Amino acid sequence: MGLGKRKREHQQSFWVAADKLCNAPRNAFYDRLNQLLDEVKFDEQLEEAVEPYYEKSGRKGIAPGTYFRMIFIGYFEDISSQRGIAWRCADSRSLAKFLGFGPDEATPEHSTLSLTRERLPMEVHRFAFELILKATAENGLLKGKTLGVDATDLEANASLKSIVRKDNGDDWQAYLRKLYVEETGKDSPSDEELRRFDKGRKSKKKVSNDEWESATDPDSRIGKMKDGRFHLKYKAENAVDLETQVIVSAEVYYGNQGDTHTIEDTVNSAKTHLRETCPEKEVQEVVADKGYHSEHVLDGLQNECDLRTYIPEPDRKYQRTWTDKSPQREAAYRRNHRRTKGNRGRRLQRHRSERVERTFAHLCDTGGSRRTWLRGLEKVQKRYMSAAMAYNLGQIMRKLVGAGKPRYAAVLAERAFSRFCAAWEVMACPESLLTDSQRQQNQNWTFQASLGA
């Protein structure tokens, strides 16, 4: 056989016969995922829902099912940016097959994802989320009785260097220059003088969201991240079915909104999703950490939403007084205090700390959603909700094939092949060369094979 050399210049063929086109390599995980989406009629129902938002004539855009599949790939492949998703889809023929494109067709570019996201409103994204949620219920993965609620931070696509004053639009340098002129009376200071002046100031070093905003992403808010850094951020809050670990609601809020101001909206959103997908299921209990403990939260969830709450009370130095509180709020507080101290309340808190935090680990740490590359609350909300859809699909795939992500499916296949090779080696080895444990294992496999026959 002669040495093959790579061609430096290759003349493209004018046409290629269809029978000579190589089929795309098979990916068992994505093939089964496509089959699952076909079973629930995801594309048909979605295309019918988005029809009013498209023109009747003109160049055809990408199908909405293709748009959501590309976002799903971002979650399954741990890719945060749209450019990365588009490049990965163009580079992998198996992913192109998953999107519905042939070997001779180009996959969508990253700009197409942005245009499609802007065209499809939030109602369509919520409808798609409810379709996936309904699929989890059909596979027995949705109970809906007990919800665990928790929140995390999302890093915004903006820098603190881009913040400006809301009143006059001055950036930080212009703000410092005005302060320098007011205190020293000198005009046109140099950059070094401004740095020394800023370092020596003893007051007014803090910035407030009431006075400052980002020039590139006004919806982001200044806040402290989980790792201690101050950054522009958003707040993501999940409502999770504690029995099955399915995300029932995935909401995004402004980064400076407290937990006590958003939990009722998240719970009501979860109740709406359950009512649209499974009317027979109803939320009865809400479990959260002590950051959500508040009198008006307990009053609203128990008396207005008719729910049982399991929210532990933070440590206090002084004993509470109820002279200026209504009896209704005091009764809600007493009921919640009694439940959280019981065995069931302690068990639910353990489940919440384990299972709700696990959803953030999948979505943010290994799902590409911790750092958002979009700007604007609505866009970030759409992307995060799409990642939550992919997480719920992963829960269904875990039940069907034993793996919630393609990488773990490959690990399971490797383990199965290793076990097959080990079994074949033991069964093919002469009986005299086997150890006692291998001989016993060989007898067990032979016995199981006879039962199967």
Determine the average pLDDT of the residues in 30-52. 93
Band of pLDDT at residue 434, cut at 50, 70 and 90:
low
**Do 359 and 428 fall into the same domain?**
no
The mean per-residue pLDDT over the stretch 106-128 comes to 93
Whether 397 and 261 map to the same domain: the answer is yes
By mean pLDDT, which of 101-110, 213-222, 259-268, 287-296 is the weakest? 101-110
Taking 70 as the threshold, does the pLDDT of residue 294 lie above it?
yes
- 42, part of any domain: yes
| Stated pTM of the model | 0.86
Mean pLDDT of 282-292: 94
SS (H, E, C) the chain: CCCCCCCCCCCCCCCCCHHHCCCCCCCHHHHHHHHHHHHCCHHHHHHHHHHHHCCCCCCCCCCHHHHHHHHHHHHHCCCCCHHHHHHHHHHCHHHHHHHCCCCCCCCCCHHHHHHHHHHCCHHHHHHHHHHHHHHHHHCCCCCCCEEEEEEEEEECCCCHHHEEECCCCCEHHHHHHHHHHHHHCCCCCCHHHHHHHHHHCCCCCCCCCCCEEECCCCCCEEEECCCCCEEEEEEEEEEEECCCCCEEEEEEEECCCCHHHHHHHHHHHHHHHHHHHCCCCCCCEEECCHHHCCHHHHHHHHHHCCCEEECCCCCCCCCCCCCCCCHHHHHHHHHHHHHHHCHHHHHHHHHHHHHHHHHHHHHHHCCCCCECCCCCHHHHHHHHHHHHHHHHHHHHHHHHHCCCCHHHHHHHHHHHHHHHHHHHHHHHCCHHHCCHHHHHHHHHHHHHHHHHC
Provide the domain limits for residue 171.
160-214
Q: Is it the case that residue 413 has pLDDT exceeding 90? A: no
Task: Indicate the pLDDT class of residue 406, thresholds 50, 70 and 90.
Answer: confident
Query: Are the CB atoms for 98 and 34 separated by under 8 Å?
Result: yes
The percentage of residues in the chain with a pLDDT greater than 90, rounded to a whole number, is 59
pLDDT one-digit tens code per residue, 437-450: 666 666 555 544 44
- Cα 365–chain centre separation: 9
Task: Among 193, 214, 235, identify where a domain stops.
Answer: 214
Q: If you average pLDDT over residues 114-137, what whole number do you get?
A: 95
- Distance, first Cα to last Cα, the chain: 47
In the predicted structure, residue 166 carries a pLDDT above the cut 50: yes
**278, 131: one domain:** yes
Question: Are 367 and 381 found together in one domain?
Answer: yes
Residue 86 has pLDDT above 70, yes or no: yes
How many distinct structural domains can be found in the chain? 4
Whether residue 14 has pLDDT greater than 90: no
- Structure tokens belonging to residue 319: 């004993």
HEC per residue, 248-266: EEEEEEECCCCHHHHHHHH
Q: Does residue 5 surpass a pLDDT of 60?
A: no
**pLDDT at residue 141 above 90?**
yes
Say if 11 falls within a structural domain.
Answer: no
Same structural domain, 144 and 256: yes
* Same-domain pairing of 268 and 375: yes
Identify whether residues 169 and 274 lie together within a single domain: no
Per the model's pLDDT, the better-predicted residue between 350 and 61 turns out to be 350
CA dihedral 199, 203, 209, 212 (to 10 degrees): -60
Report pLDDT digits (tens) over 174-232: 888 888 888 787 877 888 888 888 777 766 667 889 899 999 999 999 998 888 888 99
Within-domain flag for 2: no
Residue 452 has pLDDT above 50, yes or no: no
Provide the pLDDT for residue 208: 86
Q: Are residues 245 and 383 in the same domain?
A: yes
Average pLDDT over residues 364-373: 92
Residues 228 and 249 in one domain: yes
In a domain? residue 182: yes
Residue 284 lies in a domain: yes
Task: Flag whether 144 is in a domain.
Answer: yes
- What was the pLDDT predicted at 418? 73
Average pLDDT over residues 27-53: 93
Q: Tell me the range of 166-180, 215-229, 246-260 where mean pLDDT is highest.
A: 246-260
283, 274 contact by CB (below 8 A): yes
Q: Is the CB of residue 246 less than 8 Å from the CB of residue 142?
A: yes
Do 43 and 186 belong to one domain?
no
286 torsion bin: left (phi>0), alpha (psi -120 to 50), beta (else): beta
Give yes or no: residues 46 and 169 share one domain.
no
> Which pLDDT score, from 0 to 100, does residue 57 have?
81
More confident residue, 326 or 447: 326
Band the pLDDT of 55: cuts 50, 70, 90. Answer: confident
Question: Does 78 fall in a domain?
Answer: yes
The pLDDT of residue 65 is above 70: yes
The average confidence (pLDDT) of the chain is: 86
% pLDDT > 70, the chain = 86
Q: Does 143 lie in the same domain as 41?
A: no
Tell me the average pLDDT across 229-253. 95
Is there a domain that residue 16 lies in?
Answer: no
